[in-house]
Amino acid sequence: MKLLSFQTPEPLFSSRITDYVIELDFLRRKQQESTIEPDLLNQIRAIFRDIDAMASARIDGNKTGINKYLESKEDDDETKGRKVQEVEKVADTLKLLDEGMEEAVIFKGFFAWIHQQIRDGITLESTRNAGKYRHGPARPDSAGNNSPKYHLVEPMLEKLVTFVNKPDAPKFDALKSAFAHHKFLWIHPFRDANGLVSRLFSYVMLRKQGFAGPTNRILNPTFCMAPDPEKYVHLLQKADSEKEKDLFDYIEFALQGLRNDMVRMDKVMNYNVFKEDILIPAFKHPLFDRVFSEHDRLIIDVAIEKQTFQAADIRFLFPQKQPADISKMIKWLREKDLIINCEDNSRKYVINLQNKYLVKFIVAKLDRAGFIPYN
């Protein structure tokens, strides 16, 4: 397998890779409706964007803890520090990609745009090099340790773009994404942050190929690699050897991780699972016993059960109360940032999963329930 070749590899029919390709195609087409209301699901997506951004940064050596990152989100850039900003920029770029996915086009400038988004404004050096291809050798400790000379970076990216956009049978899609991920890292087009860019690139490829499925499941481009980042980097480096077996070892690892993540995320799309395993346990934290009155707890219980609610939904709890009194109870919960207005109806409310306290408890419960595949 020549490094200059941009052709989807074809494994043996009897290989584990073929098994994963078949499973992934089944999951891609699986008809499984989400039972989570959009106003709640969008918040869950945002939480997983943060977790995925953290996982991606960790693979590249950023050791910022998830709690520190969540606590720092509302701080100014100077207070946050470089490491937190790095994670935040990856999460913000994931959000931009989500919002513009239908119009997203993969072309050479697409990679420079991603790099610009995640590196501009972190340090003077990162800002100076943001969105610019390297003009020297690739760093020796990177996955692309036998990368092409710098003057070949742009021609190689053009070949990669042609490969990615070339129409192929859908059965090759998962293989193609894994292969393109390796090729990008081999090219190693930037001085830094190639790993961060590569995982965002893979996310766009998988979304464009339809792996979010009919239900638009949450996809986490880093969770395929996060359970064992050392193995991920090792297999990528071995795949540069031009030996077919080494490339297939990496592809098998990547597709297995993608399959596992899609199965995991399908469970999250079931509200009963999210409610019983994550949301109710999160609200059992002693902090809420200290800040909630009995009335607050009753309202939150209704919000958990119904997902979205309005004043009429809680009147039966307080038959002696006037409508104005109920409005004050709701206002108090809004001021405490525990509930927010629904996007399409200002008279309806939903629990604010990104409340600065609640979000940490939710992430802890997601971790305990096995939805976060890294420590």
Helix 16-29 vs helix 244-268: crossing angle, to nearest 10: 30
pTM for this structure? 0.92
Amino acid at 7: Q
Per-domain residue ranges for the chain?
16-268, 271-368
Cβ neighbours, 10 Å, residue 140: 9
For each of the chain's 375 residues, which pLDDT tens digit applies?
Answer: 455 678 888 898 899 999 999 999 999 988 777 899 999 999 999 999 999 999 999 999 998 888 888 888 877 777 788 999 999 999 999 999 999 988 889 999 999 999 999 999 999 999 999 999 999 888 655 444 688 999 999 999 999 999 999 999 999 999 999 999 999 999 999 999 999 999 999 999 999 999 998 778 899 888 778 788 899 999 999 998 878 999 999 999 999 999 999 999 999 999 999 999 999 999 999 998 888 889 999 999 999 999 999 999 999 999 999 999 999 999 999 999 999 999 988 899 999 999 989 999 999 999 999 888 775
Q: Which two tokens stand for residue 283?
A: 């609200």
In this structure, CATH architecture of domain 16-268: Orthogonal Bundle (1.10)
13: which residues sit within 8 A by CB, 6+ positions away? Answer: none
How far is residue 185's CA from residue 235's CA, in Å, rounded to a whole number?
12
292 three-class SS: coil
How far is residue 318's CA from residue 93's CA, in Å, rounded to a whole number?
45
How far is residue 297's CA from residue 288's CA, in Å, rounded to a whole number?
9
pLDDT in tens, 175-197: 999 999 999 999 999 999 999 99
130: which residues sit within 8 A by CB, 6+ positions away? Answer: 115, 116, 119, 120
Q: Which residues pair with 348 in a beta bridge?
A: 310
The DSSP secondary structure of 153-201, one letter per residue, reads: HHHHHHHHHHHHHS---GGGHHHHHHHHHHHHHHH--SSS-HHHHHHHH
Angle of CA points 70, 65, 287, to nearest 5°: 50
How far is residue 298's CA from residue 309's CA, in Å, rounded to a whole number?
13
Q: Which residues pair with 341 in a beta bridge?
A: 349
In this structure, CATH architecture of domain 271-368: Orthogonal Bundle (1.10)
C-alpha torsion 55→181→112→152, nearest 10: 140
**Residues 343 and 349 sit within 8 Å (Cβ to Cβ):** no
pLDDT in tens, 263-301: 999 999 999 999 999 999 999 999 988 888 899 999 999
Nearest Cα residue to 197 out of 99, 205, 239: 205
